A = this chain, B = another copy of it.
Amino acid sequence: MALMQSRTAHSEQLRAASLRVTQPRLAVLDTVTENPHADTETVYRIVRESLPVVSRQAVYDVLAALTTAGLLRRIQPSGTVARYETRVGDNHHHVVCRSCGVIADVDCAVGEAPCLDASQAHGFSIDEAEVVYWGICPGCSAPQSSRPRS
């Protein structure tokens, strides 16, 4: 039922964005909703479990369309592949584990977006501050005994 609910909500989201409601788009929205920070390949794999006809290119197209429409947010920490999440519009950042790559959300430490002291912006008009914290997650810093194999 949670699925049915989200499906209805997602259809409305698509219509509100003047996007046609298609199975691939609903499946991608469902997948990213249930798997925040999933990368394209993961989305592709999961979508195909329920909708085996979808092509990888369709997933790329859908992710791009939904991101442009503001339904998804695309994040891509340095040297990593693109990932997507449904939390849009708020000013939150991310913490990434150098070891396993897991990502967690972090609310902005400063407050209002874009959280910059604009005093020395070199004349740029800044509209977004993208912050990535790098570190080691609790799982990876735990003693090896409790978490073998890297």
Question: Footprint of B on A, CB under 8 Å?
Answer: 74-79, 82, 95, 97, 104, 106-107, 109-110, 114-117, 120-138, 141
Question: Which residue from B107, B122, B134, B138 sits with its C-beta under 8 Å from A95?
Answer: B122
- Determine which of B97, B106, B126, B136 lies in contact with A135 in the assembled complex, contact meaning CB atoms within 8 Å: B126
Q: How far is the CA of A131 from the CA of B115 in the complex (A)?
A: 10
Task: Decide if A138 touches B117 in the complex (CB within 8 Å).
Answer: no
B contact residues around A95 at 8 Å (CB):
121-122, 124, 126
Name the CB-closest residue of B to A132: B130
Smallest beta-carbon distance A34→chain B, Å: 20
Top 4 nearest A-B pairs by Cβ distance?
A109-B117, A126-B135, A123-B138, A76-B78
The distance from the CB of A111 to the nearest CB of chain B, in whole angstroms, is 10
In the complex, the answer to whether A104 meets B124 with C-beta atoms within 8 Å is yes
When distances are taken between beta carbons in the complex, the residues of chain B under 8 Å from A109 are 110, 115-117
